[in-house]
Amino acid sequence: MNKIIITCTIVFALALALRLYPTISTGMPFSTDGWPFIKNCEIILEKTPVNIGDDMVFDGISNYWPAISFSGAIISKITSLPPIEAMAIYMPLAGGLAVIIFYTITKTHYGKEAAYIASLLFGTVFTHVYFTAGVTKETYANPLYLTIILILFNQNLVEKKSTIAVFTILSIALAFTHHLTSVILAAIIISITLAKIIDGLKTGREINKIEPLLAIIFLTTLTLYFALYANKIFNFTTADETLMALSFQVIAFTLAAYLALKPYNYSRNGAIISTTAAKAFTAAIVIIILFTNFSPKPYFTPTVQRHILPYLLPYYLIIPFIVQGYIACRRICSPVPLIFWFSAVFGLQAYSLFTSTGLDLTLWIRTPNFLYPPAAIIAAQGLYKTYKIGGKKIFQTLAKLTVIVVILAILATNLYSLHASVNLQDRYMGYHWLYTRQEYFAGSWASKSCDGTIAGDMKVSYLIDYYYKLNVDILQGYRYLAEETRVRPKLLFVYGQMFRNGYVLGLHGIELPSGWTRKLYELNQIYANGLTMLYAG
């Protein structure tokens, strides 16, 4: 069997295993965001025919992106598994499928070797593994998003008559799946389409008329969906915010046009200077992270803890290879689609970092997952070029060793990051997405025994409110345990990890005062199963 086939199979198996790992470790769906979609799936199976837009039946939010629940119902019927089990398993598989589609995109333009390296980088990157291991809209949207990118990148697919029909179906499916992915893809499609038109006018090449048509189809589909159906809840942007986002897109497009469309004459000295500067920058960042007290403080999120900064090293280690990859792309093929794919997402990332809007935190956390695919492709070009460097034997050996060490360091850091989140339950690594069976059973017991409001943190709220349909007062539990009020909650939900990581408010657990457990003695314990306790006031 071909060596590339074997290595690619290993990469795909690793990508799938990493995404299934959180679910396998507990037997429960991963992610706080998954509970409303699992509940919707159960309602669809139980009450069909049912109006998916009925906010009295559904939660009034997740039903406006129902594709994940529809697909969950189909998988549940096919496998005869209950929705909670079917979605817990097949959603991470869908996330892993995105890596296979990504490999196809890369292989088409840059060859098998680069595709293998890029897939290894993308398939194991921690935050993408984390988000696509769960029952989330992003997980289901990723294969759709990358399939549309595959069409845009492949001229043979674009020219086929059936492409318009397939593209339209994919556009509708994505609109029904995830609003953020749809908006980001709209920016990417516009950026790539305009760049190809400008490049065609500049070089005199014939402009493919199908590509602007595909852009129009996607934008029309997205506009109609938001205007006719999802407009009830998609109202968190203002005209000023939209104008600001467009301004950042224009800046990013201009920079990308300079990098991708300017006349290019390869200069060995220029390449050496560029890569040396990138290496110096990377070395400085690594030194700052590992050996100083520097800690970034984004204005919209709590201080990033020092001990998690080393987890960011993979993203800095590939910077020199991104520079080399860009040089390689300019020399061997047109980098237009790739550069403008990256720039469109980078524009949104910059918008989230440098403006104060209702979307800044969401974009800051989630847009990196859209930067990784184009960045991985460019970096893979640089890594492969370095690995195959010519010259003296000692330089060839050193180059190969460097590439191997960098890839292993990136892989090890990403694997440990997942371990820190799932096994070590690090407070700042998204531990609260992991639910145990004991927490699920406690919620089930509470739903049958309580008819009032339950006090619990945000992790409890997602399970109890969105799945079991009971009211949860997040602040009441914290105020009582933090001794900010003497009013006892009617029912308090406490789980094991709260004793170590605190009370989840926002992105992570908030430290409770020393001796907070004494407040529990003022209540009556009415339920316990080893990891979860319920107290009545």
- Give me 422's structure tokens: 């799932």
pLDDT given at position 236: 56
pLDDT given at position 300: 46
DSSP structure class, residue 383: H
Residue 301 confidence (pLDDT) above 70? no
- Give the residues across from 505 on adjacent strands: none
pLDDT digits (tens, 9 = 90+) for 4-30: 678 778 889 999 999 999 999 999 999
Of these ranges, 276-280, 317-321, 367-371, the one predicted with the greatest mean pLDDT is 367-371
Residue 243 confidence class, pLDDT cut points 50, 70, 90 = confident
Is 475 inside a domain boundary?
yes
CB 351 within 8 A of CB 244: yes
Nearest to 380 by CA among 117, 96, 52: 117
Tell me which of 286 and 72 has the higher pLDDT. 72
d(CA 186, CA 184): 5
Residue 240 confidence (pLDDT) above 80? no
Tell me which of 352 and 74 has the higher pLDDT. 74
Question: Which of 29-33, 231-235, 297-301, 454-458 comes out lowest in average pLDDT?
Answer: 297-301
CB 432 within 8 A of CB 32: yes
Tokens 């799938």 belong to residue: 16
pLDDT given at position 118: 95
In a 3-state reduction of DSSP, which class is residue 148? helix
Beta-carbon neighbour count of residue 124 at 10 Å?
24
Question: Which of 142-151, 161-170, 294-303, 357-366 comes out lowest in average pLDDT?
Answer: 294-303
What value does the mean pLDDT take over residues 63-76? 94
Is 483 inside a domain boundary?
yes
d(CA 167, CA 158): 9
Dihedral angle sign, alpha carbons of residues 297, 301, 305, 308: negative
Claim: this prediction has a pTM higher than 0.85: yes
d(CA 494, CA 535): 8
Residue 391 confidence class, pLDDT cut points 50, 70, 90 = confident
CB 136 within 8 A of CB 366: no
Is 288 inside a domain boundary?
no
Tell me which of 288 and 244 has the higher pLDDT. 244
Question: Which of 104-118, 147-161, 264-278, 285-299 comes out lowest in average pLDDT?
Answer: 285-299
Residue 154 confidence (pLDDT) above 80? yes
- Give the residues across from 536 on adjacent strands: 491, 524
Average pLDDT, the chain: 87
Question: Which of 146-160, 280-294, 432-446 comes out lowest in average pLDDT?
Answer: 280-294
pLDDT given at position 313: 75
What value does the mean pLDDT take over residues 281-289? 69
What value does the mean pLDDT take over residues 514-532? 93
What value does the mean pLDDT take over residues 431-440? 96
What value does the mean pLDDT take over residues 359-374? 83
User: How many domains are contained in the chain?
Assistant: 1
Boundaries of domain holding 516: 436-536
Tell me which of 333 and 84 has the higher pLDDT. 84
Q: What angle do CA 271, 274, 279 make, to 5 degrees?
A: 120
Is 203 inside a domain boundary?
no
pLDDT given at position 360: 64
Is 464 inside a domain boundary?
yes
pLDDT given at position 438: 96
Tokens 């402009």 belong to residue: 207
pLDDT given at position 267: 64
The torsion angle over the Cα atoms of residues 397, 10, 375 and 172, rounded to 10 degrees, is 160
- Give the residues across from 492 on adjacent strands: 455, 535
Question: Which of 119-123, 302-306, 485-489 comes out lowest in average pLDDT?
Answer: 302-306
Of these ranges, 46-55, 114-123, 288-297, 362-371, the one predicted with the greatest mean pLDDT is 114-123
Share of the chain above pLDDT 90, in %: 58
Q: Strand 509-510 to strand 491-495: parallel, antiparallel, or no bridges (unpaired)?
A: unpaired
Residue 351 confidence class, pLDDT cut points 50, 70, 90 = confident
d(CA 426, CA 448): 32
Beta-carbon neighbour count of residue 286 at 10 Å?
15
Residue 303 confidence class, pLDDT cut points 50, 70, 90 = low
E runs forming strands in 409-460:
454-455
- Residue 269, judged by CB atoms within 10 A of its CB (0-12, 13-18, 19+), counts as exposed
**Residue partners of 442: CB distance under 8 A and separation at least 6:** 493, 495, 527, 529, 532, 533, 534
d(CA 178, CA 224): 15
What value does the mean pLDDT take over residues 179-197? 93
pLDDT given at position 352: 80
pLDDT given at position 339: 92
DSSP structure class, residue 470: -
Is 505 inside a domain boundary?
yes
pLDDT given at position 199: 86
pLDDT given at position 204: 74
Is 528 inside a domain boundary?
yes
What value does the mean pLDDT take over residues 289-302? 56
Residue 285 confidence (pLDDT) above 80? no
For residue 427, the one-letter residue type is R
- Give me 383's structure tokens: 């890594």
d(CA 383, CA 400): 9
Is 145 inside a domain boundary?
no
pLDDT given at position 2: 72
